[in-house]
Amino acid sequence: RPFLDPDRAKSMHDETLPHEVFKTAEFCSMCGPKFCSMHINEELRKEAGAPILLDPRTSPSPNISLEVANAER
């Protein structure tokens, strides 16, 4: 269970990467920097200057709905 042990998860992830530089990249190794949703989301947050919150009525994730509800308090 790599998700319970962050060091093991990182080690397993790093084993799949060909060069050291990829191990510290700020995007996932599967998509690359232009298509990585995590990287794009982070860039949008930086540009907006605040967290991007979604409408809980249209949110695909219950966790996102909680973030919106907490932000409105």
**Owner of token pair 């989301």:** 41
Amino acid 33: pLDDT: 67
Amino acid 10: pLDDT: 78
For residue 61, the enclosing domain spans: 2-71
Amino acid 40: pLDDT: 77
Give the count of domains, the chain.
Answer: 1
Amino acid 50: pLDDT: 66
pTM confidence score: 0.32
Q: Is the pLDDT of residue 56 over 70?
A: no
Judge residue 53's burial from the number of C-beta atoms within 10 Å of its C-beta, 0-12 exposed, 13-18 middle, 19 or more buried: middle
Largest Cα–Cα distance of the chain, in whole Å?
46
